[in-house]
Structure 1
Amino acid sequence: MKIQTTSNGFDLVLDGRLILCHRSDAPCLFVGQGDARMDMYRGNFDIEDYVIERTPLAHAVVSGSEIAFSAAPGQSARLTLQVSGEEQNGVITFRTDDAAINRLWIRVTGEEGEHVWGGGEQMSYFDMRGRRFPLWTSEPGVGRDKTTEITFKADVAGKSGGDYWNTNYPQPTYLSSRRYALHVETTAYSAFDFRRDSFHEIEIWAVPERIELTVRPTFVALVKAMAERFGRQPPLPEWVYGGAIIGLKDGASSFERLERIIAAGTKVSGLWCEDWVGLRHTSFGARLFWDWKANDDRYPALRQRISELEDRGIRFLGYVNPYLAVDGSLFPEAEAAGYFAMNGSGDTALVDFGEFDCGVVDFTNPEAAAWFADRVIGQNMIDYGLSGWMADFGEYLPIDVKLANGIDAKVMHNAWPTLWAEVNARAVESRGKTGESLFFMRAGFTGIQKHCPLLWAGDQSVDFTRHDGLVTVISGALSSGLLGNAYHHSDIGGYTSLFGNVRTMELIMRWAEMGAFTPVMRTHEGNRPRDNLQIDQDPQVLAHFARMTQIYVHLVPYLKFLVADASTQGLPVQRPLFLHFEDDTRAYTIQDAYLYGPDLLVAPVWHAGTTEWTTYLPIGAEWVHVWSGRTFAGGQDATVPAPFGEPPVFYRSASEFAGLFAGLRNL
Structure 2
Amino acid sequence: MKFERSETGFILSHKDQIVLQHSHSSPILFVGTGNATYDMYRGNFDIKDYVNERIALRCFTIKGDGQAVRIEFHYEGELQITLCAEETPEGRLKIGFHDAKESLNRVWIRLDASKDEKIYGCGEQLTYFNLRGHNFPLWTSEPGVGRNKASYITWQADVKDRAGGDYYNTNYPQPTFVSSDRYFVHLQTTAYADFDFRHSDFHELQCWAIPDYLLFDCEQSFPALVHNIYGLFGTQPEMPDWVHDGVILGIQGGTETTLEKLHKAKAAGIKVAGAWCQDWQGIKITSFGKRLQWDWQWNPDLYPELDSKIHALKREGIRFLGYINPYVLEDFPLYQEAASKGYLATRQDGSKYVVDFGEFYCGVVDFTNPAACEWYKGVIKTNMIDFGLDGWMADFGEYLPTDCTLANGKSAEIEHNDWPRRWAKINHEAIEEAGKTDDILFFMRAGYTGIQRYCHTLWAGDQCVNWNIDDGMPSVINGALSSGLLGNGIHHSDIGGYTTLHGMKRDRELFMRWAEMAAFTPMMRTHEGNRPADNHQFDTDTETLCHLARMTRIFTHLKPYIKAAVKENALTGMPVQRPLFMHYEGDALSYEIMYEYLFGRDLLVAPVYEQGARQRKLYLPPDQWIHIWSGEHYQGGWVEVEAPIGKPAVFYRASSADTVLFAKIQDAAEDLL
State the TM-score, normalizing by the size of structure 2.
Answer: 0.97
| Aligned residue among 77, 82, 95 for 1:80 | 82
CA deviation digits over 1:195-243, x for unaligned, max 9?
0000000000011000011111111100111111111211110111110
The Cα of 1:322 is off from its aligned counterpart by 0.7
2:306 is equivalent to residue 271 of structure 1: no
Residue 88 of structure 1 deviates from its aligned partner by 4.5
Deviation sequence 1:153-203 (CA, Å, 0-9, x none): 000111000110000000000011111110000000001100000000000
* Contact kept? 1:14, 1:88, Cα under 8 Å: no
Report how far residue 280 of structure 1 moved: 2.1
- What amino acid is aligned across from residue 48 of structure 2 in structure 1? E
Q: Do residues 306 (structure 1) and 310 (structure 2) align? A: yes
Q: Distance in 1 between the 2:504 and 2:206 partners?
A: 37
1:602-625: per-residue Cα shift (whole Å, max 9, x none)? 000000010011100012x10111
AA partner of residue 358 (structure 1): C
2:340 alignment counterpart: 336
Contact 1:136 1:190 in 2 (8 A): yes
Alpha-carbon distance in structure 2 between the residues aligned to 1:110 and 1:259: 57
SS at match of 2:511: helix
1:499 aligns with 2:529: no
Match of 1:648 in 2: 649
Q: Is the 8 A contact 2:495 2:525 kept in 1?
A: yes
- Residue 44 in structure 1 maps to residue 44 in structure 2: yes
- Once the two structures are superposed, residues 502-552 of structure 1 have per-residue CA deviations (whole angstroms, 9 ceiling, x without a partner) of 011110000000000000000000010011111101111111011000000
Does the CA-based 8 Å contact 1:463-1:503 persist in structure 2? Answer: yes
Moved more, 326-335 or 120-129: 326-335
Structure 2: which 5+ runs fail to align?
none
Tell me how far 1:283 sits from its aligned partner: 4.6
Distance 2:284 2:666 in 1: 47
> Which amino acid letter does the alignment assign opposite residue 551 of structure 2?
M
Partners of 1:88 and 1:216 within 8 A in 2: no
Is 1:156 equivalent to 2:159 in the alignment?
yes
Contact 1:15–1:88, Cα closer than 8 Å, also in 2: no
CA RMSD of aligned residues (A): 1.0
For residue 96 of structure 1, report the CA deviation from its aligned partner.
Answer: 2.2
Q: Structure 1 residues 162 and 283, CA, compared in 2 at 3 Å: closer, same or farther?
A: closer
| Secondary structure in structure 2 of the residue aligned to 1:49 | strand
> What amino acid does structure 2 have at the position aligned with 1:42?
R
The offset of 1:290, in angstroms, is: 0.6
Give secondary structure in 1 for the equivalent of 2:552. Answer: helix
Shift of 1:354: 2.7
Alignment of 1:152-551 (within 5 A): 152-252=155-255, 253-374=257-378, 376-551=379-554
Alignment check: 8 A CA contact 1:237 1:437 kept: yes
Alpha-carbon distance between aligned partners in 2 of 1:233 and 1:435, rounded to the nearest angstrom:
12
Shift of 1:656: 0.3
Give the match for residue 639 of structure 1: 640
- CA distance, structure 1, for counterparts of residue 287 and residue 78 of structure 2: 61
Q: 1:120, 1:483 within 8 Å by CA — same for their partners in 2?
A: yes
Q: Distance in 2 between matches of 1:407 and 1:178?
A: 38
Instruction: Give how far 1:294 is off.
Output: 0.4
Aligned to 1:33: 33
- Asked whether the equivalents of residues 462 and 494 of structure 1 are also in contact (C-alpha less than 8 Å), the reply is yes
User: Aligned-pair distance for 1:282?
Assistant: 3.6
How big is the shift at 1:62? 1.4
Output the CA distance in 1 between the equivalents of 2:505 and 2:272. 26
**SS state at 2:517 partner:** helix
Q: Which whole-Å CA distance do the structure 1 matches of 2:176 and 2:600 have between them? A: 23
CA distance in 1, matches of 2:286, 2:128: 37
Q: Which amino acid aligns with 1:391?
A: A
Larger displacement relative to structure 2 (89-98 or 295-304): 89-98
Partner Cα separation in structure 1 for residue 201 and residue 75 of structure 2 = 22
| Distance in 1 of aligned mates of 2:534 and 2:2 | 61
Q: State the AA in 2 paired with 1:246.
A: L
Q: Deviations over 1:63-94 (max 9, x none)?
A: 1211001125xx12211011100595100001
Q: CA deviation at 1:422?
A: 0.4
Deviation of 1:435 after TM superposition, in Å, equals 2.5
Gapped regions of structure 1 (runs ≥ 5): none
Tell me the residue number matched to 2:60.
60
TM-score, normalised on structure 1?
A: 0.98
Partner Cα distance (2:100, 2:26) in 1? 24
What letter is aligned with 2:268?
Answer: A
How far 1:355 sits from its partner (Å)?
A: 2.7
Deviations along 1:345-390, one digit per CA (max 9) or x if unpaired, are 311311122332210100000000110011x111000010000000
Cα distance in 1 between the residues matched to 2:418 and 2:487: 17
Check the 8 A contact 1:227/1:485 in 2, yes or no. no
**What fraction of aligned residue pairs are identical, expressed as a percent?**
52
Match of 1:12 in 2: 12
CA contact (8 A) 1:88 1:215 kept: no
Q: Does 1:624 align with 2:626?
A: yes
Aligned mates of 1:263, 1:13 — CA distance in 2: 63
Q: Judge conservation of contact 1:278–1:288 (CA < 8 Å) in 2.
A: yes
The answer (yes or no) to whether the contact 2:79–2:101 under 8 Å persists in 1 is: no
Structure 2 distance, partners of 1:596, 1:330, is 42
3-state SS in 2 of match to 1:414: helix
Question: Displacement of 1:562 after TM fit?
Answer: 0.6
Superposed displacement of residue 97, structure 1 = 4.2
Deviation at 1:279, TM superposition (A): 1.2
- Other structure's SS at 1:427 match: helix
Q: Structure 1 counterpart of 2:426, which letter?
A: V
Q: 2:19 aligns to what SS in structure 1?
A: strand
> Which residue type is aligned with residue 14 of structure 2?
L
Contact 2:124 2:482 in 1 (8 A): yes
Give the secondary structure class of the aligned counterpart of 1:130: coil
Deviation string for 1:318-356 (max 9, x for gaps)? 000111111321111111110000012311311122332
Tell whether the 8 Å contact from 1:141 to 1:161 is kept in structure 2 after alignment.
yes
Change (3 A) 1:285 1:173: closer
Q: Contact 2:290–2:530 at 8 Å: present in 1 too?
A: no
Does the 8 Å contact 1:421/1:452 carry over to 2? yes
2:132 to 129, 132, 153: 129
Query: Which residue among 593, 597, 605 is the counterpart of 2:600?
Result: 597
- What is the match of residue 579 of structure 1? 582
- State the match for 1:570 in structure 2: 573
Q: Distance in 2 between matches of 1:31 and 1:512?
A: 49
What is the Cα deviation at residue 250 of structure 1?
1.6
SS in 2 for 1:413: helix
Mapped partners of 1:610, 1:134: distance in 2 = 35
Structure 2 CA distance for aligned equivalents of residues 123 and 99 of structure 1: 37
Q: Is the 8 A contact 1:601 1:649 kept in 2?
A: yes
- Superposition pairs of residues 100-119 of structure 1, within 5 angstroms: 100-119=103-122
Could you report, residue by residue, the CA deviation over 1:279-335 in whole angstroms, capped at 9, with x for unpaired residues? Answer: 123454432111000000000010111100100111000000111111321111111
8 Å contact from structure 1 (residues 179, 219) kept in 2: yes
Distance 1:428 1:164 in 2: 35
Match of 1:69 among 69, 73, 81: 73
Between the aligned partners of 2:148 and 2:100, the Cα distance in structure 1 is 42
Q: How far apart in 2 are the matches of 1:489 and 1:390?
A: 12
CA 642–97 in structure 1, closer or farther in 2 if over 3 Å, else same: closer
Q: Does 297-306 or 343-352 show the bigger shift?
A: 343-352
